[in-house]
Amino acid sequence: MEMLSMLKIGYTILRSETPATDLVNTFMDWAARRSLLLLAVFLPPYYVYKLTKSAFAVVAPEDVAGKVVLITGASSGIGEQIAYQYAKKGARLSLVARREASLHDVAAKAKDIGSPDILVVAGDVANPEDCKRFVQATVEHFGQLDHLVNNAGVASVCWFEEVPDVADFKQVLAVNFWGAVHPTHCALPHLKKSGGKIFVNSSAAAVLAMPRMSFYNASKAAVLNFFETLRIELLDEVGITIATPGWIESEMTKGKHLSKHGTVEVDQDMRDAQVGVLPVVRAERCAEAIVDAVCRGRRHLTVPLWYRALFLWRALAPEVGELSQRVFYRRTAGGHDSDRQAKAKRFLEATGTKGLLQPASLQSSDIKRE
């Protein structure tokens, strides 16, 4: 019957006066629906292949001792902890961020942990010239580049319709998206020469589209799709690992973000309203998982793992996910968040769940200034 149907469609295409492109797409629609049946045949051997490949990676992860790793956003949070994880493995480090004094503090600790050589380069990933400069400085100092860790990022938390000037949020794309693209473009010839690897920190927000974070979500979705495309273009010349983490211990989860005016603020009440009762993963644990994934050549990483269940709900039942987010992030009358922030704070303090769900470091609003 299936063969007969296919022949009928083919005959219709040949005899019809309908534009050929329409007919071809009609045929492709028909074929695509039936191709889903191939999954039943394809998936078992595919997962056998995946398990075999994973087993090999467990036995033989990459030894990064003596290799050169460039890390952006290395002055705090996840980037700082990634530096320490690579240092434990004996890698040589190039640390990049805007806050040079903080970078030197991280470098001193990383050297004590085990990194044999560390270069500190102050730079802004949103500035293309800075990107060229810190990649060039790294290669000139070490003579090579093996891993590029694109970690620098900035968050924004506000309702889109309350933003006075959307142009104030170009900086979110400049840091989160272009701040990963420019270093990658500069580093790529050196990574191809060494057969190196690229890590990029996207976000669970790229998939889940969290309210109040429209600009951030968009920037991280752009990162995700850009590096998925780049992986295809590069074949196996350079490995790419993309992370889509949930809430992780960082300055962002301390309450640091861009306000609706596009200015940096530290607002822990807003943080409590945004994060709510979702648990925050320690930065050290996240960094350990990231470095392990990169060394094992994994394509994707989600920390914590249970966010993948949310991704699946988003894909298969998007209305359910949207409904739950509307309830969780419900706006008060008039669009003001002060009442909701106060309620979130009172709930977390009254139930004692803040100490359970958030690392101790997040209880302070202090962030590094230099």
- The catalytic residue positions are 216
Report the C-alpha gap between 208 and 164 in whole angstroms.
25
Angle at 152 between CA 108 and CA 88, to 5 degrees: 35
Report the C-alpha gap between 176 and 181 in whole angstroms.
9
| Best CA proximity match to 151, nearest among 349, 283, 310 | 283
| Best CA proximity match to 141, nearest among 99, 107, 182, 175 | 107
| Best CA proximity match to 269, nearest among 208, 346, 185 | 346
Contact 200, 242 (CB under 8 A): yes
| Best CA proximity match to 69, nearest among 241, 269, 205 | 241
At residue 119, the 3 state secondary structure works out as strand
